[in-house]
Each structure stands twice: as structure tokens, then as C-alpha cells.
Amino acid sequence: MKSNAKIWSWSPLFLLAFFFSCTAAWAQERQKVFVMEINSEIDPRTNRYTQLALEEATRLEADHVLLKLNTYGGAVNDADAIRLRLLEYPKPIYVFIDKNAASAGALISIACDSIYMAPGANIGAATVVGADGQAAPGKYQSYMRSIMRSTAEANGRNPRLAEAMVDASVDSTLTADQVLTLTTSEAIQHGFSEGQANNIEEVLQKLNLQDAEMLRYELSATDKVISFFLNPVISGILILIIIGGLWFELQTPGVGFPLIAAIVAGVLYLTPFYLNGLAEHWEVLLFIVGLVLIGLEVFVVPGFGVTGISGIILVFLSLLLIMVNNQAFDFTFVSSERLMESLVSVLLGMISAVIIVALTWNRVLGSRALQRVTLVNTFNSKEGYRSSNSAEHLIGKTGIAHTRMAPSGRVMIEDNLYDAQARDGFIEKGDAVQVIDQSTFALRVKKV
């Protein structure tokens, strides 16, 4: 009896231990499903999003990846990069097509291990089109057919159907102006889709992962900020600050704040495009060279000529090219809408900067804040002001350029050397000059 009593007294502890061991084993065996979403055009931002998402899935040791997709397509080069990334990922990747997987979206879909489609969804129409919306040249279609075919083969799908999504001639049932697009039921019938589902939860049920831990991917705060600055409207405002800041700084050297604002705006403009693969090294270099040429025009080369115009053109081109995903001036895969959107953003930014400078210039010069940090008053001799070494008696006299003047240098007048500045262009050493005016520190001369 005593032994039985001991057994009964210990039984709750055994049951508790058994419960915890079962719970721990269940927790260890519970699968992790990593969910990411693409609901926009396939472009460098989407490309970078998938890269960051899969890196996060690896870090969290997810057992499965589920992509929720709804896109009308986009850039072929970015879609190809995403395709390779999905094919090479070591864990199973499933896609849930929520209505649309057209063009580049079809390529991404067939790169996944399993395809599930919502009622009324479509997949296909993967013909490559140019910026004008017309079919691209044959070499681009050939490349798209090959990667569609090889991707389908890699995942055990019918390669001819995948190729027919690009070229109608592959399928005899299609006319010359058609390419293959499959509905949900047709995709299931032809083995392109594993089934129909209304949402992600139903997809997980079909995969027997309804009890799995779902991990939804969200962009970090930094990446959200980057996406914010990629907005064309924000890009236009940044361009306005860049141009306006440079102009104010050149007109009031030494103030500092306009230059700092222009530099910060330049960094905020260039960095997001560079991180998303839109800004190439040569495009950034083009922007810097343009700024250098503008600086040379202002500080070194007198007047406004080829140097300044070239600088403005280079800055304009770099700002425009950075915003579009061209391949060394090849705009075949850049949509006309994207090109026009970028052109309007750059033009509006530059024109707005000129208008704002013109409207606010006099007010800024007269502001108390600017007068605290820079000298804006002019001390004229007519008002009784005199420099310590007046040279008014030299006005009208002639001499010889003692050094080359570009535009500053020295002149010899009556066996005395004076600092001088050429009024127009350059004056070579030995040329005859005439004094036409004086400033506090130098004579102003012209070539005789």
C-alpha cells in the first residue's frame, strides 16, 4: 500500500515532465514560413527587396518561403536577377499569384517550386516590349524565350507552354498577334499551377503548413526612407534644393548654409538610386564632372560659355539618367511613362529652382540673417570712402602686362608694378593695357 501511495504521489510530476517534453518536441518540429510580397512593377527596387527578404529568411532559418505576387511585369534584367535568386535558394519557395503574374511576373512565378493562384488570376503574356509599348527586336525575344524555357525545365513544367508566353508561333492554337496567357483553371489543367487558393492561409493548408509559424517580411526603417526619397516628387524637390543651393552659394560665397543644403540634398538624391542599382558609377561621375565645370565657369573662366553650358548639360543628363534604369544609354526596356516621369521631375526641379532664386534673391540679400554672416554693403568713393592707397590718378594711363592675366595678374605702369584684373577675357604677357577703373586691391585694365 505504501509503495502504491508513493507511485500515485509521483505521478503528477511524471505527467508534467511528459507534457513539457512533448511541448518542446513540438516547438522544435514546428516549421517556419517566411512571407514576402511583390505588389508593384518589377524594377531595381523590387530586385533589392527580394534580395533583402531572402537574406532575412536565411538569417531567421526559415524552412519555407512564400511569395505573394501581383504585378503586370517590368524590367527584364531585374526579373532575371530575381529568377536566378529564387532558383538558387536552398529552401522551397512557393508563389501565390493574387490576380496578376504578367510578363516579368510570369518568369518569376515559374522560378518558384510551386504555384498557387487566386480565382480569376492570370499568368503569361511575357513578350518583351520597348519604351514605346511595341515588341522589342528579335534578339530580346529570343533571350526571353530561352530563359522562360530553361526556368520551366528546372522546375518540371512544360517548356513549350512557357515559351509560348513569349512567342505565339510556338503554339499552333495561337494566332500571330497572340501570346499565351493562362487562367487559374487552365494553369492547373496544364500542370503550371498546383492549385487554387483564396489567400495565403489556404495555400499553407494545401502545403500542410497550417500550423507553421508565419514570419512576414517588412522593410526596415532605413529602407522605407530610401523608398520615400525614390518618389519622383521628392526627387524633384531635392533637385530644386541642389540647384538653388549652389546658385545662392556662388552669389554669396562664405555663407555656407546654401552649400551645405545643396550637398545634403545631393547625397539624399544620389544614395537611394545608387543603393537600388539605378545610379551607376559613371552616372555619379557625370554629375560631379558637371558641377566641376560649372565651378570652373564661375571662378576661373570669365563670362558664360562652353564650360558652363557643358556643365549644365552634364548635370541635367546625370540627374535624368540616374532616375531611369537604362543600360549604357540603351532605353529599350525603359517604359515611356517612366522616362517621361523622370524628365518632368528633373525639368520641374531645375525650372522651379530658377524661378525661386529670381523671386527671392533680393529678399534674401536684404534679410537680417544674411547680413549677420556676410558683408552686403558697398562703400563707394562718391560717398567719401577711400582706400588706404588710392590709385585714381592712374585711370586712363597705359602700361604693359607684366604677367599673363587670366583674368588677374600684374601690370607695369611708369616703372611701377601694380596688381590688376582684366576686364574682358585674357591678356598675354607683354600686351599693352590701359587702366579703366580701380578697386580696393587692384586696377581694372583692358587690352589696348
Would 62 be classed as within a structural domain? yes
Q: Is residue 236 domain-shared with residue 320, that is, in the same domain? A: yes
d(CA 129, CA 334): 9
SS3 (DSSP) at 346: helix
Region for 347 from its dihedrals, namely left if φ exceeds 0, alpha if ψ lies in -120 to 50, beta otherwise: alpha
Q: Is residue 10 part of a domain?
A: no
Question: Do 385 and 367 sit in the same domain of this protein?
Answer: no
Residue 386 and residue 369 share a domain: no
Please tell me whether residues 96 and 163 are part of one structural domain: yes
357 in the same domain as 296: yes
The last residue of one of the domains, among 184, 218, 252, is 218
For the record, the C-alpha cell of 370 comes out as 544674411
CA pseudo-torsion sign 399, 405, 408, 410: negative
Q: Which residues pair with 51 in a beta bridge?
A: none
pLDDT value for 82: 93
Do 358 and 391 fall into the same domain?
A: no
User: Which of 161, 85, 77, 222 has its CA nearest to residue 67?
Assistant: 85
Residue-level pLDDT at 278? 64
Dist CA 182 CA 124 (whole Å): 6
For position 20, what pLDDT does the model report?
47
Read off the DSSP letter of residue 377.
-
- How many structural domains is the chain composed of? 3
Range of the domain at 249: 228-373
Cβ(101)–Cβ(112) under 8 Å? Answer: no
* 444 contact partners, CB below 8 Å, separation of at least 6: 420, 421, 423, 435, 436, 437, 438
Q: Are residues 51 and 192 in the same domain?
A: yes
Give the number of residues written for the chain: 448
Contact call for residues 342 and 323 (beta carbons, < 8 A) = yes
Alpha carbon separation from 422 to 11, 85, 334, 374, 431 (Å, rounded)? 106, 63, 50, 26, 12
Cα–Cα dist 266/263, whole Å: 5
Same domain, 391 and 427: yes
337 assigned to some structural domain: yes
Q: Are residues 167 and 60 in the same domain?
A: yes
Q: What is the mean pLDDT for each group of 10 consecutive residues in the chain (448 residues)? A: 49 52 49 93 83 93 95 85 94 94 93 95 82 67 88 91 82 60 92 93 93 88 73 74 71 62 80 71 81 72 67 79 66 61 71 68 57 54 53 84 84 87 83 84 83
Cα-to-chain-centroid distance, residue 95? 27
- Full-prediction pTM beyond 0.95? no
Q: What is the CATH number of the domain that holds 49?
A: 3.90.226.10
Residue 100's beta-bridge partner residues? 122
Q: Are 434 and 336 found together in one domain?
A: no
Q: Which of 340, 373, 406 is the last residue of a domain?
A: 373
Question: 155 and 64, same structural domain?
Answer: yes
Q: Which residue, 373, 405, 420, sits at the end of a domain?
A: 373
